[in-house]
Chain A
């Protein structure tokens, strides 16, 4: 049994220590909002927050999480996340939607550290989150819209 803290709750998961956090979340904890896209930390679909930082859960073994606080898309509930989700709806950002949990996780991590991000800040924070539908134009606009609504 490995104990991790996910979305403010303590979970005991019966998985081997080398299990990537993503698969522990998806297959054992039933939290399927974080997606599998590459398994190598290349696409960002699996992004979750570890102590507020966006990490790639597909290439993070559960044993490395320790007492860190994990937040998944299902646990996003602060005002920054709400503003981002509202902007995502307002601008109809999503197409297939598969990468968007990861996009929102990384966008939230950005906005909590930089209230008014420049294009370069957005590029740097989200360059690791690929979108095959190329919704990038709207992701950029939605991050800015959320920043404005929070100001």
Chain B
């Protein structure tokens, strides 16, 4: 290779790097004691093929796939790598995952405009083209390099499982062998993508890339980061939302060996120590007096009573079809019901935590980073530095369910305030205990619904009036303008506003009261409550009309063949209409169904329940059908449905955060229970075959479960439960 040629043809790649800004990636190398040495490595050396922001191939023949989304269990890393590796024709074994830095120019969520954010079950949908194009581009350059090297036409070259092959002359090369030459070629702008029938990874089984590290203890979470000189901070938080620090006495705390400092940070008082246990003992010894002037002091029952009053008045209209009042006057039968939904905590297994270092005007963060753009802006604002001076290292999150994408960057800023308060003299790991995590707010909002529906003489639904009362999640956030229109926060009414059933006269309206309890999106957001009220009401109407609940729904879904197909698949696979096997005389069995669209996917579930003599119940089996467009990794789709059902079951059986005089009653898993393995039902998942672009998977498995369970309980006992969590006694 001549120097001249090299200089000339590397320009495009250099131009890319310039546009991208300085691309420096950190590697964390665990030493024998599990501590982490931090080294910086410059990406993109001359011999490295790096045609875009998503893939890098060096002479070691590894395909480094740069993933912009958080891996919190949902399989995003594996899915993103699958898309890229498919079009690259890489061998799955040679693919290595690397977390992308914070950079909204290159790594924004293409469905969320300027935000780099993992959420809304969009990781696959927004990356489907982007990652495949990135892979196809790299492939084209490897093929061109081989064609030049072998003096053959590019069209006669094939690529299979990481080998570039010219069959006619029996020559082949690895990606690593071609990377240097390929890196000098111009980057093609017009690459073609595969016909889906030629997919070898998409739609097949690519094993999860994080599976091994997560089965031998080597997967690194925020909790596992240890930097030289790092201090661990625990924060004494106020007992009520809106309280502030009045004063504190740190004498006893500072006497605990290992405690090095105590600082007030507005949201609480932080105890800094050399390790967790010293910090914990220090915090236990700390005495804080709280300013309660703006403290929130209501009981949750008082909040619900306020909502009940509000629901008597019309709200902001989210959807209005036909003339609902006129239709009700013609109805032969009218059913009215109200529904109550409590606050819910995310309760990820890894309580919130964050490591922040701030030195020489630069901030570096280690976090299960779900909202890079928001956190970066908030940190830059707090610290008075440019956003580019905030480097975010995205680590695995031990669950999130939405919590780590906090619109106020709450726990991230708390960690940064502590570092700021000690003038950056040490990196700080903020650790929330389970109690801190449970009581920190940012819950799924409490909701109250009223639903009134009218049937005509033939049992057809002719009128539907749905009123929702609950806090807006987006009010007061940077995304309010995008998400709240005409007084309607889309996420408060999603699932109710877009009810798929053909009902000519339909009104959905909303009250969004301001309450001093912070709220946030919680796996499947508005659908956590709208699926319940709509699908249990539909079931009740079917019973009133004496029509089978599946037939009743299908009759109203002629305009929605996708919904109808999913419903039929679930019903067929569950043996709908066949008698459930009998149980002993003291027990009653029942089967219930629910259908719901969320995040552009449609899911139906059939729940089989046994209600025992003591009025407790056991979920025996759940049959789930899902249409999520093209299933990129069907096994992960199944896993997300299984997990979504289990997650929903914890909420349906136990989930409630309650307030007493403003103080959160719950603190840990004894009073905020999760289901255990003995309670987990058998789950059968069926995926509708589809070649349509992929839609959401992480969240859509959650919404149908609770209504299907309530419908099953109604089938078994005749009792309609309308308050969550579901209790018969």
A139 to B232, CA, bound (A): 33
B649→A134 contact, CB < 8 A: yes
B217→A27 contact, CB < 8 A: no
A117 to B349, CA, bound (A): 27
Q: Which residues of B contact A42 (CB under 8 A)?
A: 668-670
A29 to B224, CA, bound (A): 12
Interface flags for A107-151 (1: CB within 8 Å of B; 0: not) read 000000000000000111011111111111111100000000000
Give the secondary structure class of B's interface: loop
A84 to B647, CA, bound (A): 24
Q: Which residues of A contact B351 (CB under 8 A)?
A: 36-37
B349→A43 contact, CB < 8 A: yes
How far, in Å, is A110 (CB) from chain B's closest CB? 11
B276→A27 contact, CB < 8 A: yes
Q: Which residues of A contact B276 (CB under 8 A)?
A: 23, 26-27, 36
Interface centre among A15, A29, A96 (most CB of B within 10 A): A96
Give the number of residues in B that approach A within 8 Å (Cβ atoms).
66
Q: Which residues of A contact B457 (CB under 8 A)?
A: none
From A23, A32, A138, B34 is in contact (CB under 8 Å) with: A32
The verdict on A92 contacting B208 (CB below 8 Å), with A33-B216, A42-B669, A97-B214 known, is yes
B73→A130 contact, CB < 8 A: no
A104 to B213, CA, bound (A): 13
B668→A38 contact, CB < 8 A: yes
Interface flags for B675-698 (1: CB within 8 Å of A; 0: not) read 111101011000000000000000
A8 at the interface (CB under 8 A from B): no
The verdict on A134 contacting B348 (CB below 8 Å), with A30-B33, A33-B216, A38-B434 known, is no
B75→A95 contact, CB < 8 A: yes
A117 to B35, CA, bound (A): 38
How far, in Å, is A134 (CB) from chain B's closest CB? 2
Q: Which residues of B contact A45 (CB under 8 A)?
A: 349
Q: Which residues of B contact A97 (CB under 8 A)?
A: 73, 210, 213-215, 219, 396, 398
A39 to B214, CA, bound (A): 21
B211→A134 contact, CB < 8 A: no
B636 at the interface (CB under 8 A from A): yes
Give the nearest-CB partner of A87 in chain B. Answer: B215
From A16, A40, A129, B677 is in contact (CB under 8 Å) with: A129
16 A-B residue pairs with CB within 8 Å: A20-B277, A27-B226, A27-B276, A31-B34, A36-B431, A42-B669, A95-B639, A96-B350, A97-B396, A98-B398, A100-B215, A101-B217, A127-B678, A129-B676, A134-B643, A139-B677
Additional A-B contact list (13), CB under 8 Å, known A94-B210, A97-B213, A126-B676: A16-B277, A23-B277, A26-B276, A27-B232, A31-B217, A32-B226, A35-B398, A39-B433, A43-B434, A92-B635, A129-B677, A134-B650, A140-B680
